[in-house]
């Protein structure tokens, strides 16, 4: 029996919401579908079904009309509410809660583009419509992947700290992600066909969940490689390379102890600096790939060459410029987060989330691991030669916020990450890609 | 926000985006062959060559020919080489060209053109090519490496199963400046150099940068000895604050080291955090404190 | 080191004709050969490839054929694979296993093929034949129809003799190991009064088909052993070839990522004292470069309670239930398994 993947807080009892101060016998319990081990819950733009119920109402009351809305701190996240799964939520919704204590659902999601900066900067509030009395409140976080160049210092530092912990100076769980992305048969699994984008989507999600097991408020930032990124390429974040291909970090940067492979430090040339705009397809040009006469994945996947390959090469030299060595450099994860964001944005712009639709993927005589129903290595375990006969890692990391994708995802499982048709979502989203059914 | 309106607006913007230049491999090959080509224009054409499945083979063939053409300008050849390295990120399509590509790089490693030599070694040593390593190692041994000494060390050090460590040891002891620094970096996994690392890390007369490299090397090779050095550095008010911050950061993020520090260290360090005026040291200590608190919970 | 590589290649090229040269070259296939000390992994593999290639026009014995087959089974190095293909070209009759291994090696070269040359100096760029070309040429020389068994220039090829030896408990009493949890004990205590399966590996091994696969497979066997009451007294241990580097945290991380079920009887370990003695006791086929291993075989041993050690073909790990049966039987009878496994 394989050791279990780390399960972080599988739905412990949720916290009771705050008791009303003036009507102590009436309050509303707010129950989100999932909680982590610290009894916290996180949402993205994709709404989740939240249950409300009256707790211990006074006698004689048949029901209570309530308004459900959000309270946000400055620069915090914001929420939308609806009675069904929709992108057309509103800032508030009115519901009737029966005195019987029967649960009433309400759909709650982040209000695009207002993402949280930290946990608890937004809360659900439930108020009596008649008296405006606060009957219940529930903190949460609208947890979204952001542009690395726009992170606050606090967000950046949390990410770096989690990343350095995962690296563990070379002995942390990071090493399995490095070993998944090496030359030979594994390279073909990741890059050898149209499964390139779904494979990396799983890879990043698995990686992000490992980071969130260290610090649940962290998400993977992306490097928007068609723009200058002054805040990414400086010594406080991803570092600045010197003439000897040594990336320099500030003294307090957790990445000073990074061990990508064997030797400490990061081997990268000075191809991309704080003001560099790499020569590759712009976001608009990328999203137009495969768009005419109608958007199809078959055309879009050409982005594997440009901008993806070009982004790797924009650094000029070092680990990031070869598929075998690229994940040794932490910028790799931000680069690929942007690749995935571009795919997500392409999906949104052209409304292509359904794996049953031909436009969402491509059919043909592709290598195993690159066809729609194929399970993705290494999460599927070892395979028979000539495919990889070992499988670093322990299967897809679980998330306390969702049961999707499965432990051994197939390509088709990675297309509808928002759950627009499947009903289950992957609990990640990008700051500039909204949820839309 | 009206998401559908936002989407439509965004689609309208996409429709206005400049089209991707449609540069055909034959056009690039013909222009490169023309005696009147402009180097910059040629580089731009090379950069615009697409690597999508329909034109991949023709594009790669053109790029290989450009890189291998010793009479062409270095800038154009380097631009083509960059594109070929990008093409490697499509290994299934590139497979038929791989052997030819490596052979070409091995030839270019002995090119009279310095720029091509460096670029060839840069690529070949990423995958520990033994032929490239031999040229670098032989050159260093006789004091005439095919690239700068610092670069040669850096390239050879990429292979943690390499044979150049005795050479690095000699250079780390016998040289100064950038060569010494690079040689020290190259020794990062050398367990026989632990004493050297400890000595440099503890020596206040050594440049801070070298001490930091030595400390990180010590962490890599002997977490136990590093724990002793790092804790001493972190608590020493006479030490460089940047170095102290690095030491604290290393302890925070390396569980093997954290497990070896004495129990009383945490309290002493937190006291330093309160007293210090150094922002970077304080931030490092704060991160340490958070990590300790997380571990306890 | 590179100049020493040139000298070794010269030695190969000028090896005398006949049995003297054959034996000299065969001896160069031992990873623990002193001449390889200090070479990088790639240098050692380059030399190894040249040695194998030299057998294209020489007499093959069982040991050389087995080395060639093992390389075709696991190597990722184009020079080594081409050399192995050339060595087996000397076989006059088809060998189904060789054919399968050559095909597998060719598939493994996809995306990483290189031009190889055995006639000239290192760095010669004039060759146009790739490792895949050499493999294809070897395959082509045999008829499409498979014929039974195989025979080389010297007659019927037999399997290599398993390595057996009696270990010295006193020597091993002075060899201490430390496992992934930091627990230390003398090797003699580990082996005393029980049957053990001992594999060797190291965490920096660059070939996933070797050490990573070994630990993966050993983990599977260990899980089967835990479920089998008769196996409760078995030891399942993997010892690092790289004791200076493979500290407990690294051992643990390596095993954890490969689902190794750490428990009292299943461990990854390194020697903290007496590693050289351990190497000699097991006659380990491992060589060292400047900092770490440069070449090694896949090595697996069954050690019984009477201190007898029997070398086991690592391919047996692919049939863990079968191997576990053998271990249980050996444990039950308190005698070394003396038939080849």
Q: H/E/C letters for each residue in chain B? A: CCHHHHHHHHHHHHHHCCCCCCECHHHHHHHHHCCCCCHHHHHHHHHHECCCCCCHHHHHHHHHHHHCCCCCCHHHHHHHHHHHHHHCCCHHHHHHHHHHHHHHHHHHCCCCCHHHHHHHHHHHHHCCCHHHHHHHHHHHHCCCCCCCHHHHHHHHCCCCCCCCHHHHHHHHHHCCHHHHHHHHHHCCCCHHHHHHHHHHHHCCCCCHHHHHHHHHHHHHHCHHHHHHHHHHHHHCCCCCHHHHHHHHHHHHHCHHHHCCCCCCHHHHHHHHHHHCCCHHHHHHHHHHHHHHHHHHC
Alpha carbon distance A389, A245 (integer Å): 34
Are residues B296 and B207 part of one domain? yes
Interchain contact, C259 vs A262, CB within 8 Å: no
| Average pLDDT value over all residues in chain C | 88
Q: Name the 3-class secondary structure at C145.
A: coil
Q: How far is CA C318 from the centre of its chain?
A: 15
What is the CATH number that goes with domain A27-142? 2.60.40
Q: What are the DSSP calls for A306-371, one per residue? A: IIIIHHHHTT-SBGGGSTTTGGGSTHHHHHHHHHHHHHHHHHHHHT---TTSGGGS--SSPPTTSS
- Chain B residue with the nearest C-alpha to that of C131: B99
pLDDT of residue C302: 96
Q: Indicate whether B165 belongs to any domain.
A: yes
Residue range A16-40: average pLDDT? 74
Q: List the structure tokens of A42.
A: 């996180």
* Position C17 pLDDT exceeds 80: yes
Residue range A350-355: average pLDDT? 96
Residues 218-277 of A with CB under 8 A from B: 244-246, 250-254, 256-257, 259, 261-265, 267, 269
Chain A environment of C76 (Cβ under 8 Å): 184
Chain C environment of A173 (Cβ under 8 Å): 253, 257
Alpha carbon distance A139, A116 (integer Å): 11
**A165, A188, A245: residue with CB nearest B91:** A188
- Name which of A210, A252, A260, C238 is nearest B220 in CA terms: A260
Q: Indicate whether C189 belongs to any domain.
A: yes
> Poorest-confidence range of A123-127, A151-155, B153-157, B244-248?
B244-248
pLDDT of residue C199: 98
Using the 3D structure, point to which of B153, B187, B221 is the last residue of a domain.
B187
Q: Indicate whether B127 belongs to any domain.
A: yes
Are residues C182 and C328 part of one domain? yes
Interchain contact, C292 vs B161, CB within 8 Å: yes
* Position C335 pLDDT exceeds 80: no
Are residues C151 and C92 part of one domain? yes
- Name which of C277, C278, C326 is nearest C302 in CA terms: C326
* Position C118 pLDDT exceeds 70: yes
The pLDDT confidence band at residue C160, using thresholds 50, 70 and 90, is low
CB-based burial, C121-147: b 16+ in 10 Å, e otherwise: ebbebebeebbbbbbeebbeebeeeee
Domain A148-414 class, CATH top level: mainly alpha
Alpha carbon distance B246, A249 (integer Å): 10
Mutate to test the interface with B, among C36, C48, C110, C114 (most CBs of B within 10 A): C114
Interchain contact, A252 vs B254, CB within 8 Å: no
Strands lying side by side in the sheet with A122-128: A42-43, A134-142, A122-128, A63-72, A92-98
**B123, B246, B256: residue with CB nearest A171:** B256
Instruction: From residue B154, give the alpha-carbon distance in Å to each of A25, B136, B165, B185, B215.
Output: 72, 10, 12, 8, 19
**B11, B89, B242: residue with CB nearest A349:** B11
**B219 in contact with chain A, both atoms CB, cutoff 8 A:** yes
Using the 3D structure, point to which of C124, C156, C188 is the last residue of a domain.
C156
**A183, A185, A392: residue with CB nearest C257:** A392
Instruction: From residue C326, give the alpha-carbon distance in Å to each of A393, C220, C266, C301, C312.
Output: 30, 16, 17, 12, 11
Interchain contact, A183 vs B220, CB within 8 Å: no
Q: Indicate whether B18 belongs to any domain.
A: no
- Chain C residue with the nearest C-alpha to that of B90: C111
CB-based burial, A4-31: b 16+ in 10 Å, e otherwise: eeeebbeeeebeebbbbeebeebbbbbb
Using the 3D structure, point to which of B187, B206, B223 is the last residue of a domain.
B187
Alpha carbon distance B258, B183 (integer Å): 28
Q: Indicate whether C93 belongs to any domain.
A: yes
A184-188, A254-258, B164-168 — which one is most confidently predicted on average? B164-168
Interchain contact, B249 vs A252, CB within 8 Å: yes
Distance from CA of B263 to the nearest CA of A (A): 20
Interchain contact, A3 vs C213, CB within 8 Å: no
Are residues C137 and C276 part of one domain? no
Residue with the bigger pLDDT between C118 and A169: it is: C118
Chain A environment of B255 (Cβ under 8 Å): 168, 171-172
Relative orientation angle of helices C2-13 and C41-54, to the nearest 10 degrees:
10
The pLDDT confidence band at residue C178, using thresholds 50, 70 and 90, is very high
Are residues C233 and C139 part of one domain? no
CATH classification at residue C245: 3.40.30.10
Evaluate whether A204 touches A220 at the Cβ level (below 8 Å): yes
Alpha carbon distance C253, C240 (integer Å): 14
Chain C environment of B106 (Cβ under 8 Å): 123, 125
Half-sphere exposure of C325 (CA within 13 A, CB side): 5
pLDDT of residue A1: 32
The pLDDT confidence band at residue A337, using thresholds 50, 70 and 90, is very high
Kindly state the percentage of chain A with pLDDT values over 70: 94
* Position A5 pLDDT exceeds 50: no
Q: How far is CA A311 from the centre of its chain?
A: 21
Q: Which chains touch A (3 or more CB pairs under 8 A)?
A: B, C
Structural domain boundaries, residue C243: 164-333
**C39, C115, C245: residue with CB nearest B103:** C115
Chain A environment of C261 (Cβ under 8 Å): 1, 3
- Chain C residue with the nearest C-alpha to that of A173: C253
pLDDT of residue A26: 66
> Residue A357's CB: how many other CB atoms inside 10 A?
14
pLDDT of residue C1: 52
Alpha carbon distance A261, A179 (integer Å): 10
Residues with Cβ within 8 Å of residue A241, at least 6 apart in sequence: A247, A248, A268, A269, A270, A271, A315, A318
pLDDT of residue B54: 85
Interchain contact, C123 vs B163, CB within 8 Å: no
Are residues C279 and C223 part of one domain? yes
Interchain contact, A244 vs B182, CB within 8 Å: yes
Residue C19 sits at φ, ψ, to 5 deg, of -65, -30
Q: List the structure tokens of B206.
A: 């050594």
Kindly state the percentage of chain B with pLDDT values over 70: 100
Instruction: From residue C323, give the alpha-carbon distance in Å to each of A193, C161, C217, C268.
Output: 38, 18, 11, 19
Q: Name the 3-class secondary structure at A87.
A: coil
* Position C245 pLDDT exceeds 80: yes
Using the 3D structure, point to which of C109, C131, C156 is the last residue of a domain.
C156
Chain A environment of B245 (Cβ under 8 Å): 251-252
The pLDDT confidence band at residue A336, using thresholds 50, 70 and 90, is very high
Q: Name the 3-class secondary structure at A379.
A: coil
Interchain contact, B185 vs A291, CB within 8 Å: no
ipTM: 0.90
- Chain B residue with the nearest C-alpha to that of A166: B253
Q: Name the 3-class secondary structure at A195.
A: coil
Q: Indicate whether C190 belongs to any domain.
A: yes
Alpha carbon distance C55, A300 (integer Å): 51
Residue range C131-136: average pLDDT? 96
**A187, A389, A390: residue with CB nearest C111:** A187
Mutate to test the interface with A, among C41, C104, C111 (most CBs of A within 10 A): C111
- Chain C residue with the nearest C-alpha to that of A323: C111
Are residues B146 and B207 part of one domain? no
pLDDT digits (tens, 9 = 90+) for A141-162: 999 999 999 999 999 999 999 9
Alpha carbon distance A354, A141 (integer Å): 28
Q: Indicate whether C341 belongs to any domain.
A: no
- Name which of A24, A91, A80 is nearest A55 in CA terms: A24
Using the 3D structure, point to which of C156, C189, C204 is the last residue of a domain.
C156
**B11, B51, B150: residue with CB nearest A309:** B51
Q: Indicate whether B87 belongs to any domain.
A: yes
Residue range A104-108: average pLDDT? 98
Q: Indicate whether C315 belongs to any domain.
A: yes
Are residues C170 and C150 part of one domain? no
CB-based burial, A175-207: b 16+ in 10 Å, e otherwise: bbbbbbbbbbbbbbbbbbbbbbbbbbbbbbbbb
Distance from CA of B282 to the nearest CA of A (A): 9
pLDDT of residue C59: 87
Chain C environment of A183 (Cβ under 8 Å): 111-112
Are residues C186 and C139 part of one domain? no
**B186 in contact with chain A, both atoms CB, cutoff 8 A:** yes
Query: Residue A305 carries which DSSP code?
Result: I
- Name which of A217, A182, A113, A435 is nearest A328 in CA terms: A182
Residues with Cβ within 8 Å of residue B89, at least 6 apart in sequence: A191, A304, A305, A308, A309, A312, A323
Q: Whole-prediction pTM value? A: 0.92
Chain B environment of C245 (Cβ under 8 Å): 189, 191
pLDDT of residue C96: 84
Domain total for chain C?
Answer: 2
pLDDT of residue C144: 57
Q: Which chains touch B (3 or more CB pairs under 8 A)?
A: A, C
**A168 in contact with chain B, both atoms CB, cutoff 8 A:** yes
Residue A92 sits at φ, ψ, to 5 deg, of -155, 165
Domain total for chain B?
Answer: 3
pLDDT digits (tens, 9 = 90+) for C165-177: 899 999 999 999 9
Alpha carbon distance A296, A361 (integer Å): 7
Interchain contact, C261 vs A3, CB within 8 Å: yes
Query: Residue A117 carries which DSSP code?
Result: S
| Average pLDDT value over all residues in chain A | 91
Residue range B97-119: average pLDDT? 97
Evaluate whether C302 touches C313 at the Cβ level (below 8 Å): no
Evaluate whether C204 touches C242 at the Cβ level (below 8 Å): yes
pLDDT digits (tens, 9 = 90+) for B229-280: 999 999 999 999 999 998 998 888 887 788 888 889 999 999 999 999 999 9
The pLDDT confidence band at residue C161, using thresholds 50, 70 and 90, is low
If you count residue pairs, one on A and one on C, with CB atoms under 8 Å apart, how many are there? 61
- Chain B residue with the nearest C-alpha to that of C39: B163
CB-based burial, B216-253: b 16+ in 10 Å, e otherwise: bbbbbbbbebbbbbbbebbbeeebbbbbbbbbbbbbbb
Chain A environment of B182 (Cβ under 8 Å): 244
* Position A120 pLDDT exceeds 50: yes
pLDDT digits (tens, 9 = 90+) for A235-282: 999 999 998 889 999 988 999 889 898 788 999 999 999 999 999 999
Alpha carbon distance A205, A220 (integer Å): 9
**A184 in contact with chain B, both atoms CB, cutoff 8 A:** no
* Position C121 pLDDT exceeds 60: no
Domain with CATH 1.10.1280.10 in chain A: 148-414
Interchain contact, A382 vs C216, CB within 8 Å: yes
pLDDT of residue C95: 79
* Position B7 pLDDT exceeds 70: yes
Structural domain boundaries, residue B100: 23-108
Q: Indicate whether C339 belongs to any domain.
A: no
**A173, A188, A390: residue with CB nearest C208:** A390
Distance from CA of A108 to the nearest CA of C (A): 38
Alpha-helical segments (H) within A149-255: 153-167, 174-180, 185-191, 196-214
Alpha carbon distance A40, A363 (integer Å): 42
User: Quick one: which H or E segment has residue A240?
Assistant: strand A240-241
Domain with CATH 2.60.40 in chain A: 27-142
- Rounded to whole angstroms, the maximal C-alpha distance in chain C is 62
Torsion angle of C-alpha atoms A86, A91, A93, A94, degrees rounded to 10: -170
Can you give the C-alpha Rg of chain A in angstroms?
23
Interchain contact, B161 vs C293, CB within 8 Å: yes
Question: Could you give the angle at the alpha carbon of B91 between the alpha carbons of B89 and B92, nearest 5°?
Answer: 140
Beta strand C196-201 pairing with C235-240? parallel
The pLDDT confidence band at residue A77, using thresholds 50, 70 and 90, is very high
Residues with Cβ within 8 Å of residue C18, at least 6 apart in sequence: none
pLDDT digits (tens, 9 = 90+) for A360-395: 999 999 999 999 999 999 999 989 888 898 888 778
Q: Indicate whether C314 belongs to any domain.
A: yes
Q: Indicate whether C227 belongs to any domain.
A: yes
Q: What are the DSSP calls for C203-233, one per residue? A: TT-S-IIIIIHHHHHHHHHHHHHHT-GGGTT
- Name which of C81, C27, C17, C24 is nearest C50 in CA terms: C81
**A103 in contact with chain B, both atoms CB, cutoff 8 A:** no
- Chain A residue with the nearest C-alpha to that of C111: A184
- Name which of C3, B184, C237 is nearest A246 in CA terms: B184
> Residue C105's CB: how many other CB atoms inside 10 A?
26
pLDDT of residue A290: 81
């Amino acid at each position: 029996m394989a050791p279990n993947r780390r399960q972080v807080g599988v739905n412990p009892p949720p916290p009771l919401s705050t008791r009303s101060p003036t009507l102590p016998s009436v309050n509303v319990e707010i129950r989100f579908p999932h909680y982590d081990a610290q009894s916290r819950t996180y949402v993205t733009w994709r709404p989740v079904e939240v249950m409300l119920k009256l707790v211990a109402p006074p006698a004689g009351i048949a029901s209570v009309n309530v308004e459900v809305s959000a309270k946000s701190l400055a620069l915090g996240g914001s929420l939308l509410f609806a009675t069904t799964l929709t992108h057309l939520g509103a800032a508030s919704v009115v519901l009737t809660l029966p005195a019987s204590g029967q649960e009433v659902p309400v759909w709650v999601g982040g209000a695009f583009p207002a993402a949280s900066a930290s946990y608890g900067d937004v809360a659900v509030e439930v108020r009596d419509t008649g008296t405006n009395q606060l009957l219940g409140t529930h903190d949460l976080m609208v947890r979204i992947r952001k542009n690395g160049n726009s992170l606050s210092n606090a967000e950046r530092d949390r990410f770096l700290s989690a990343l350095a912990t995962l690296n563990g100076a070379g002995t942390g769980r990071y090493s399995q992600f490095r070993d998944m992305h090496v030359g030979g048969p594994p390279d073909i699994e990741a890059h050898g066909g149209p499964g390139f984008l779904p494979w990396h989507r799983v890879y990043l999600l698995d990686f992000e969940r490992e980071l969130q097991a260290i610090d649940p408020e962290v998400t993977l930032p992306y490097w928007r490689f068609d723009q200058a990124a002054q805040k990414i390429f400086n010594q406080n974040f991803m570092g600045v390379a010197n003439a000897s291909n040594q990336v320099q970090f500030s003294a307090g940067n957790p990445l000073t102890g990074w061990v990508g492979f064997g030797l400490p430090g990061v081997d990268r040339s000075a191809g991309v600096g704080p003001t560099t705009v790499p020569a590759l397809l712009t976001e608009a040009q990328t999203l137009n790939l495969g768009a005419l006469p109608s958007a199809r994945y078959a055309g879009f996947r050409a982005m594997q060459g440009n901008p993806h390959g070009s982004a790797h090469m924009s650094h000029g030299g070092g680990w990031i410029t070869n598929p075998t060595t690229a994940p040794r450099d932490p910028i790799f994860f931000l680069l690929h987060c942007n690749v995935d964001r571009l795919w997500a944005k392409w999906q949104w712009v052209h409304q292509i989330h359904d794996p049953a639709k031909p436009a969402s993927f491509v059919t043909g005589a592709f290598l195993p691991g690159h066809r729609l129903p194929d399970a993705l290595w290494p999460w599927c375990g070892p395979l028979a030669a000539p495919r990889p006969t070992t499988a670093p890692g322990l299967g897809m990391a679980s998330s306390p916020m969702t049961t999707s994708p499965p432990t051994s995802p197939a390509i088709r499982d990675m297309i509808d990450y928002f759950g627009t048709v499947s009903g289950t979502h992957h609990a990640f989203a990008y700051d500039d890609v909204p949820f839309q059914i | 926000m009206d998401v559908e309106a936002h989407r439509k607006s965004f689609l309208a913007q996409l429709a206005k985006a400049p089209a991707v230049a449609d540069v055909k491999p034959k056009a690039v090959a013909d222009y490169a062959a023309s005696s009147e080509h402009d180097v910059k224009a040629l580089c731009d054409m090379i950069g615009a060559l697409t690597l999508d499945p329909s034109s991949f083979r023709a594009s790669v063939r053109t790029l290989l020919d450009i890189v291998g053409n010793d009479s062409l300008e270095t800038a154009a050849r380097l631009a083509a080489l960059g594109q070929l390295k990008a093409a490697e990120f499509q290994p299934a399509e590139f497979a038929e060209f791989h052997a030819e590509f490596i052979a070409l790089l091995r030839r270019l490693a002995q090119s009279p053109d310095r720029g091509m030599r460096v670029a060839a070694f840069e690529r070949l040593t990423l995958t520990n090519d033994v032929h490239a390593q031999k040229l670098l190692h032989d050159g260093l041994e006789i004091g005439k490496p095919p690239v700068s000494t610092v670069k040669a060390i850096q390239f050879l050090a990429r292979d943690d199963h390499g044979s150049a460590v005795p050479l690095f040891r000699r250079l780390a002891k016998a040289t100064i400046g950038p060569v010494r620094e690079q040689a020290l970096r190259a020794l990062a996994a050398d367990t026989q150099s632990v004493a050297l690392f400890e000595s440099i890390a503890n020596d206040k007369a050594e440049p801070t940068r070298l001490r930091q490299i030595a400390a990180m090397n010590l962490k890599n090779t002997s977490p136990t000895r590093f724990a002793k050095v790092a804790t001493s550095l972190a608590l020493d008010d006479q030490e460089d604050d940047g170095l102290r911050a690095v030491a604290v950061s290393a302890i925070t993020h390396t569980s093997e080291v954290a497990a070896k520090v004495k129990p009383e260290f945490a309290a002493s360090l937190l006291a330093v955090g309160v007293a210090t005026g150094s922002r970077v040291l304080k931030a490092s200590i704060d991160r340490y404190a958070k990590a300790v608190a997380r571990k306890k919970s | 080191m590179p100049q020493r590589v040139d000298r070794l290649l010269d030695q190969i090229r000028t090896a005398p004709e006949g049995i003297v040269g054959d034996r000299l070259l065969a001896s160069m296939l031992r990873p623990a050969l002193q001449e390889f000390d200090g070479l990088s992994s790639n240098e050692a593999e380059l030399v190894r490839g040249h040695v194998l290639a030299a057998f294209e026009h020489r007499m093959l014995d069982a040991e050389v054929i087995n080395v060639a087959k093992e390389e075709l089974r696991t190597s990722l190095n184009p020079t080594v694979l081409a050399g192995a293909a050339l060595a087996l070209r000397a076989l006059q009759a088809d060998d189904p296993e060789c054919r399968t291994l050559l095909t597998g090696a060719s598939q493994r070269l996809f995306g990483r093929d290189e031009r190889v040359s055995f006639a000239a100096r290192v760095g010669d760029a004039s060759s146009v034949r790739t490792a895949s070309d050499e493999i294809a040429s070897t395959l082509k020389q045999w008829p499409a129809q498979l014929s039974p068994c195989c025979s080389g220039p010297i007659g019927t090829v037999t399997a290599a003799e398993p390595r057996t030896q009696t270990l010295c408990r006193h020597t091993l009493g002075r060899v201490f190991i430390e496992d992934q949890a930091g627990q230390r004990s003398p090797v003699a205590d580990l082996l005393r009064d029980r049957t053990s399966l001992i594999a060797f590996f190291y965490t920096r091994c660059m070939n996933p088909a070797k050490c990573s696969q070994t630990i993966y497979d050993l983990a599977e066997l260990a899980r089967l052993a835990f479920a089998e009451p008769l196996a409760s007294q078995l030891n399942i241990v993997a010892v690092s070839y790289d004791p200076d580097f493979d500290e407990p945290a690294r051992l643990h991380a390596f095993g954890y990522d490969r689902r190794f079920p750490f428990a009292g009887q299943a461990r990854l370990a390194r020697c903290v004292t007496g590693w050289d003695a351990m190497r000699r006791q097991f006659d380990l086929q491992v060589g060292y470069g400047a900092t770490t291993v440069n070449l090694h075989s896949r090595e697996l041993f069954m050690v019984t309670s009477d201190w007898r050690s029997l070398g086991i073909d690592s391919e047996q790990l692919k049939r863990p239930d079968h191997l576990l049966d053998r271990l249980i039987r050996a444990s039950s009878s308190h005698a070394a398994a003396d038939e080849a496994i």
